[in-house]
Amino acid sequence: MQSRQQIAESWGWMSWRQAALLLPVIVISGVFLLAPLLENLVRSLGLPGESGLAHYRSFFTKPQYLTALSNTLAFSLAAAVLALVIALPACTFVAHRGGRWLRSFIGVLIVAMAISGLIRTVSWQIVLGNGGLLDAILMATGVIRQPLGLLYTPWAVLLGMVQIILPAVALALINGLGKVDRGLIAAARSLGASPFQVLMTAYLPQIRPTLMLAVFLGFSLGTGLFLTPTLLGGPDDVVLGKVMLGDMVFDFENGAALGATSGVVMTAVVGAAGLVCLALGGRGFRPPRRRGAAA
Amino acid sequence: MNRRPARGWDGLRATAGAAYVLCLAIFLLLPALAIFPASIGESEFLEFPPSGLTLHWFQDVLADQDWLDSAAFSFGLALATAVLATFLAVLVGIAQLRYHRLPKGLLAVLLAPLWVPHVAVATGLFSLCLSWGWVGRAWVLVLANTMLALPLSVSLVLAAFSVFEGNLWTAAAVLGARPRTIVRTILLPLSATALLSSLVLAFQSAWDETVLALFIGPVDTPPLSVRIYAYVSQNLTPAVAAVAAMVAVLSIVTVTVLGLARKAPGRRS
């Protein structure tokens, strides 16, 4: 006769004691993460009597939502790619240099991350504002005569977003670049591969998963940053998060359905981006290694 | 690694690389320092260069009950979140250690807040809270922030506990230690660094969190981050810059202390 635990394990399920240990996190994740996402889905589909996709139809036909969605995607994608392109040379340098350079750079990234995104946004307002710090410095040194007027433009939003997501992207890169097998590159070189061939056949396949993971991390962080576009951008730079806040908190009666629909669309888009990045990243040809429990 | 003195192209490349890394570090840190000069100007509006220097914005803010209440609320929220998230992560770690695996999909759900847009969660949570009468309750915000902090805490604790996988637990059990004794005398002391990191990072995450708090947080005494947002979306004044400066200093001091603690002798890894 099988014990209850054996039965449980044969089903890939857990024993009672394990369940007791995990119950709190299951309840918290269920109530505060899964239930809200489900609530969005249910509300976006409307009442049983209504036509199921009415809210989606109005989401995709109202210019206000379409603009907000395309702004969100454009800003997040641009910021993620820029952050990757800017961070990659520095991360490659410190990852190969190792030692003190690596530790100090990681320290800088962690300190930068510790200052909250909101406060870094506020500091960009101070730097870029009309007659702000940057204008004052450039005018005092005679580089410009008129204020630049950078604040409340898409460029200010992009600058702020890149700076805010860059530390996370860089940490992901450093983590992956540190695992590159230099032996493979030396081997390719000694076998007579040109630098370009080495890059394409020995280096890129090793770091491709890392690159895609970093871009996805940057993108998903970017979609969540709605305070930065709101504070640094102009009236045309509205992102979806801001619209959702207005729909839910300030106009629940009329806005809730479209707010929930926006939530579903946003989750779906980020999830799809994740799958695309996973597919593009592939597994690389790192030697298979038993991965720790945290992986 | 190759550490010959670099010459020619290699030397140039090393210099260029170092210069680039320095520029990037400046780009990441320097703009944030702008809040300091902005908070000590005499004028009621931001101006550069300031017409005179003063610390009275700091005094004003520290004497303002609204700011103090928000700071106290944020502190309590962050502290509760840090303790709860770390405690729950330890439970998950023990479950993994004792039963060698977690139920399918649990880790994926626990790590999901890393990529699921927080504003989408906040939207759904707001409408749920509205129907359950939970909007503005502090404990709801604590639990929601715990959910957001769990990915960090769980990863840190699982990584630390994976060292014990199998042998150490068995050895202690063979010698007659009961599970509770093993946890208290071996597991927790040996993963102290990871637990401290988990506490600090979960604290920071809840202290800085703005999106969920905007949706479901209390309105009369909002967390500090929400109050800062409410002020700066109206008008950026030296007083708000002073608050931001103090918050930033606190964050920098906390991570620096954590960094030093991790470097302290006696660490593993």
CATH number of the domain that residue A124 is part of: 1.10.3720.10
Residue of B nearest to A134 (CA): B48
Q: Is residue B249 part of a domain?
A: yes
Mean residue pLDDT across chain A: 86
Verify that A109 and A3 share a domain, yes or no. no
Residue of B nearest to A217 (CA): B115
Q: Which residues on chain A are in Cβ contact (under 8 Å) with B204? A: 114
Domain holding A238, by residue range, is 56-281
- The pLDDT value given to residue A6: 58
First CA to last CA distance, chain A: 36
Could A267 and B120 be called an inter-chain contact, meaning their C-beta atoms sit closer than 8 Å? yes
Report which listed range, A43-47, B5-9, B197-201, is most confident: B197-201
Verify that A115 and A187 share a domain, yes or no. yes
Angle subtended at Cα A181 by Cα A179 and Cα A187, rounded to the nearest 5 degrees? 170
Residue of B nearest to A26 (CA): B106
- The pLDDT value given to residue A294: 41
Domains identified in chain A, total number? 2
Q: Is residue B66 part of a domain?
A: yes
| pLDDT digit string, tens, across residues A207-239 | 899 999 999 999 999 998 889 999 999 989 999
Helix (H), strand (E) at residue A221:
helix A204-224
Residues of chain A with pLDDT under 70: 1-14, 47-51, 283-295
- Residue B244, token pair as written in the block: 């931001």
- The pLDDT value given to residue A211: 93
- The pLDDT value given to residue A86: 96
Please choose, from the candidates B217, B32, B40, B234, the residue with its C-alpha nearest in 3D space to the C-alpha of residue A114. Answer: B32
- The pLDDT value given to residue A289: 52
First CA to last CA distance, chain B: 21
The CA distance from A205 to the nearest CA of chain B, in Å, is 23
Of B37, B47, B204, the CB nearest to A114: B204
Between B221 and B49, name the one with better pLDDT.
B221
Domain holding B168, by residue range, is 56-263
Contact B194, B159 (CB under 8 A): yes
Question: What is the Cα–Cα distance from A197 to B217, expressed in whole angstroms?
Answer: 55
Of B34, B117, B210, the CB nearest to A127: B34
**In this prediction, what percent of chain B has a pLDDT beyond 70?**
95
Q: Is residue B201 part of a domain?
A: yes
The CA distance from B175 to the nearest CA of chain A, in Å, is 23
The three-state DSSP-derived secondary structure of B128-155 is HHHHHCCCCCHHHHHHHHHHHHHHHHHH
- The pLDDT value given to residue B32: 83
Of A25, A126, A131, the CB nearest to B34: A126
Please choose, from the candidates B48, B31, B78, the residue with its C-alpha nearest in 3D space to the C-alpha of residue B225. Answer: B78
- The pLDDT value given to residue A196: 86
Angle subtended at Cα B177 by Cα B172 and Cα B182, rounded to the nearest 5 degrees? 70
| pLDDT digit string, tens, across residues B147-192 | 999 999 999 999 998 887 767 777 888 888 888 888 888 888 888 9
- The pLDDT value given to residue A132: 83
Mutate one of B119, B153, B183, B243 to test the A interface: name it (highest A CB count within 10 A). B119
Please choose, from the candidates B62, B246, B207, the residue with its C-alpha nearest in 3D space to the C-alpha of residue A122. Answer: B246
CB pairs under 8 A between A and B: 273
The one-letter amino acid at A144 = I
Q: Is residue A135 part of a domain?
A: yes
- The pLDDT value given to residue B269: 43
Could A260 and B124 be called an inter-chain contact, meaning their C-beta atoms sit closer than 8 Å? yes
Q: Is a pLDDT exceeding 90 seen at residue B100? A: no
Could A245 and B125 be called an inter-chain contact, meaning their C-beta atoms sit closer than 8 Å? no
pTM: 0.87
- The pLDDT value given to residue B155: 94
Q: Is residue A289 part of a domain?
A: no
Between B169 and B130, name the one with better pLDDT.
B130
Long-range Cβ pairs for the range B19-22 (8 Å, 24+):
B20/A89, B20/A90, B20/A93, B21/A90, B21/A93, B21/A94, B21/A101, B21/A105
CATH number of the domain that residue B130 is part of: 1.10.3720.10
Within 10 A of A198 (CB to CB), how many other CB atoms are there? Answer: 18
Question: What is the Cα–Cα distance from A142 to A137, expressed in whole angstroms?
Answer: 9
Q: Is residue A138 part of a domain?
A: yes
Verify that A155 and A10 share a domain, yes or no. no
Q: Is residue B33 part of a domain?
A: no
Question: What is the Cα–Cα distance from B6 to B241, expressed in whole angstroms?
Answer: 46
Q: Is residue B127 part of a domain?
A: yes
Long-range Cβ pairs for the range A177-180 (8 Å, 24+):
A177/A91, A177/A92, A177/A95, A177/A96, A177/A207, A177/A210, A178/A95, A179/A286, A180/A95, A180/A206, A180/A207
The CA distance from A192 to the nearest CA of chain B, in Å, is 20
Q: Is a pLDDT exceeding 90 seen at residue B23? A: yes
Q: Is residue A164 part of a domain?
A: yes
- The pLDDT value given to residue B268: 46
Residue of B nearest to A29 (CA): B147
Q: Is a pLDDT exceeding 90 seen at residue B211? A: yes
- The pLDDT value given to residue B206: 94
Q: What is the mean pLDDT of residues B124-136?
A: 92
Verify that A123 and A261 share a domain, yes or no. yes
Q: Is residue A64 part of a domain?
A: yes
- The pLDDT value given to residue B68: 95
